[in-house]
A and B are shown apart, each in its own frame.
Chain A
């Protein structure tokens, strides 16, 4: 049996149009701008890349910005956004997430780009049907002849199989 976790890397930037994405964009940018100014004092550095490359401790910025979006993550009710199963329902759940600042700038909101990485709980990868993965939640105490509730999830950009265990 192959047990996997899927991860969806959701990129949010100035081009995002959906209401939730835009709220996260605005809140994370304001927080980045405020937190980054703790590191940029007495320098002329304004971009995230410059800070991370030059100021010790600036790598903490992603962790410092996370409290600004926790409330929005909570509103998802543990359902991975965007990824549909083959009947048009967001059927993947996440039990872990991580914020990644990709780029940003204290003076230029247009440069702000983040990713939220959503990690599913362990899933059984039963089979592949064309481009689709046939998956069900991994239940360690289920016996082999129990019927599994499955979903077909298409392999698609920004969706990764990020761990694999064969048991």
Chain B
């Protein structure tokens, strides 16, 4: 591996915010869903950052904002120091997309059914002019081999319907790799695959980040797979990051009550339902719709105190590299607030 600065972040996100209009409130006043609210983080080369949360937490919206499929309501997305969130010119967008690739959840919907695998991999190579024309075929075979689809000559001639779900997801990964990106955004890449082949895809992701020095954002609802592949973890709840830190530290000893709830809900064959019954408080299912001042988890939180419904807790680094938004477990003032670099 070549010498490089590990502190250099290809993508930095500051105050990223996305609001969606949601139906009509009373008296014709429309309400807004704060799908993503004031999110800060950075992705680093050769590191996998897991973004976890339940459906509706805003995690997929973050990935889509980074892929420039949506325009943010506010905030900046710095790519190699340049704010790309307002770029409109095709040339700029194309350049950005050649560096930041996305892998989607559904490997059945993301490939064109009437085109061969060869076509899917040649296209990005041609559009972005990655290799000279006479070397395209060689590169296609190389990519297929990298993602474990061998013999490549054989696989390249196939159509998507001839491949299994796991093989299709490998094609999607090869296609993302074709442009030699610096960043890959993977949105639940294994959730639609059979359990026995999920690990294979996760192993592939781990190998790629090591060998290609790619910065990965791995979006998932599955904490166990996040632990398996990721270095850092961001936990989202109702549009906000409520906890972040090194994945082992966060999952071994979470600060935020929501992270604790999520962890206790994961099936664990070693214990059994009885041994780890959870007490769930009925909360506002719509904590992200026109949120009031205060902690968005307050309605479901077993630790809530008076201040929680009055003041929105800031993200506080209560332990080295581990931060949470909680007045009780990560009180502000005791330690300086997080400075994102």
A binds B: no
A residues at B contact (CB < 8 Å): none
